[in-house]
Amino acid sequence: MKKVLILGSTGSIGKNTLNVIRDFPDKFEVAALTSNTRIDLLEIQIDEFKPRIVVVRDEILGKRLRDKIGNKCKVLTGNSGLLEVAANFDYDIFVGAIVGSNGLAPTIEAIKRGKTIALANKETLVVAGELITSLCEKYNSKLIPVDSEHSAIFQCLEGENKASVEKLIITASGGPFLNKNKNTFNEITVEEALNHPNWKMGNKITIDSATLMNKGLEVIEARWLFGMTKDKIDVVVHPQSIIHSMVQFTDGSIKAQLGLPDMKLPIQYALTYPERCKNNFERTNLPKIGNLSFFEPDIEKFECLNLAYSALDAGGTAPCILNAANEIAVDKFLSGKIKFTTIPSFIYKALEKIENHKSPDLVTIYECDRLTREFVSGLN
């Protein structure tokens, strides 16, 4: 029986992780759950999955939950609670399903204990990829991707020699504005941007998918997960989201992983790896799908993808600046303060303004993250 800690159990990935765990009561037990603010849902999860400890990041809401549930389970609060549970509590698999760079510190605690890390929280690898991968090596911690593209690549690489990989081909749905004229981008509403054609996800990643920043973050994520340089990572637009990504080998052969756009499959694979376990998820019916199509991404139209490529080229803390600026800009867009087209311009300004530090340690990364947030918060 594997004990699972889910950081961010009330979000889209968190709930899907619990959906998978529910199907395998003899394989997994929920050790701990955490939420930012959604204590009502967390309480329902406590009743069903009976974790021994939960963390609510919002202190006031955490105290409210503690008063309400009495001794059903222990309730910690705040960022310190998240660190405490990752660093000292008993579990085998750490599921990183928090959104944003807030996932970084607890993930590092789990890595230092040599835990298996099922990572959905791509921002952690974007801001500190070099550091995270070297810590994983040092503490013998296994990083298993949950992001569907990276899970696909991870599956394609099974049994292969890394030296025979020619390139990784990451697929992108293209988001809701794939065929929209760029001249009309400044009229895009929050509601339109949140309407993703294929995937149901949390708000932040849904906006990232609309700007194609999500694909940029995924290229950076792939760079660190698979130790590939940027020239060996291609992005191809594939609107049906059936091929989740591919690997091309030195003999020209391409391996792909296919499936319906449902995160339960990559989550299950990460939890059960290296085993595959039978489930009753809907199967992919290729004749029903009919056509699979592919295009080059338009980086003139989707500037965020281009900005991510530049940040990856620049290296050092540039991806951290890119990510922090994007998090603040997306927040501002979601709360109606800026236009869709202002998102890339804020990120561009931050990359110009904030100093880049090469091979940063954790202190430098946090400082860079803080400075960028402060700078972009002041823009309008």
Which of the ranges 7-15, 45-53, 242-250, 290-298 carries the binding residues for ligand NAD, by CB under 6 A? 7-15
Give the span between the Cα atoms of 195 and 143, in whole angstroms.
31
For the CB of residue 193, give the shortest distance to ligand NAD in the complex, in Å.
15
Under the binding rule (CB under 6 A), the answer on residue 107 touching ligand NAD is no
Which of the ranges 13-21, 51-59, 144-152, 264-272 carries the binding residues for Mg ion, by CB under 5 A? 144-152
Give the span between the Cα atoms of 195 and 250, in whole angstroms.
39
Query: Which helix H or strand E contains 281, and what residues bound it?
Result: none
Q: What are phi and psi of 93, to 5 degrees?
A: -115, 130
Alpha-helical runs (H) found in 10-162: 12-23, 39-49, 59-69, 78-88, 104-112, 122-139, 148-157
Q: State which residue has the least CB distance to ligand NAD.
A: 11
Nearest CA to 56 among 38, 29, 30?
38
For the CB of residue 251, give the shortest distance to ligand NAD in the complex, in Å.
31
One residue of 12, 77, 116, 245 binding ligand NAD per CB under 6 A: 12
Which of the ranges 176-184, 196-204, 307-315, 367-375 carries the binding residues for ligand NAD, by CB under 6 A? 196-204
Task: State the binding partner of 173 from ligand NAD, Mg ion, none, CB within 5 to 8 A by kind.
Answer: none
Under the binding rule (CB under 6 A), the answer on residue 99 touching ligand NAD is yes
Under the binding rule (CB under 5 A), the answer on residue 147 touching Mg ion is yes
112 to each of 107, 137, 140, how far by Cα in Å?
Answer: 9, 10, 9
One residue of 66, 115, 122, 264 binding ligand NAD per CB under 6 A: 122
The interface mask with ligand NAD, positions 203-232, x = CB under 6 A, is -xx---------------------------
Give the span between the Cα atoms of 146 and 270, in whole angstroms.
6
CB nearer ligand NAD, residue 147 or residue 369 = 147
Nearest CA to 243 among 187, 313, 172, 180?
172
One residue of 29, 32, 38, 127 binding ligand NAD per CB under 6 A: 38
- Phi-psi map region of 217: left, alpha, beta (phi>0 left; psi -120 to 50 alpha): alpha
Which of the ranges 121-129, 132-140, 188-196, 359-367 carries the binding residues for ligand NAD, by CB under 6 A? 121-129
Q: Token pair 């949950």 is at which residue?
A: 146
One residue of 31, 65, 120, 304 binding ligand NAD per CB under 6 A: 120
One residue of 54, 65, 110, 123 binding ligand NAD per CB under 6 A: 123
CB nearer ligand NAD, residue 97 or residue 246 = 97
Give the span between the Cα atoms of 201 and 261, in whole angstroms.
11
Which of the ranges 17-25, 153-161, 197-205, 360-368 carries the binding residues for ligand NAD, by CB under 6 A? 197-205
Residue 243, SS3?
A: strand
CB nearer ligand NAD, residue 249 or residue 281 = 281
One residue of 127, 263, 271, 368 binding ligand NAD per CB under 6 A: 263
| Residues 110 and 97 sit within 8 Å (Cβ to Cβ) | no
Under the binding rule (CB under 6 A), the answer on residue 98 touching ligand NAD is yes
Cα 208 versus chain centre, distance: 11
Residues touching Mg ion: how many (CB under 5 A)?
Answer: 3
| Residues 120 and 31 sit within 8 Å (Cβ to Cβ) | no
CB nearer ligand NAD, residue 282 or residue 355 = 282
- Phi-psi map region of 6: left, alpha, beta (phi>0 left; psi -120 to 50 alpha): beta
| Residues 92 and 186 sit within 8 Å (Cβ to Cβ) | no
| Residues 237 and 295 sit within 8 Å (Cβ to Cβ) | yes
Q: Which residue ranges make up the site for ligand NAD (CB under 6 A)? A: 8-14, 35-36, 38, 57, 97-99, 102, 120-123, 147, 199, 201-202, 204-205, 263
Residues near Mg ion, by CB under 5 A: 147-149
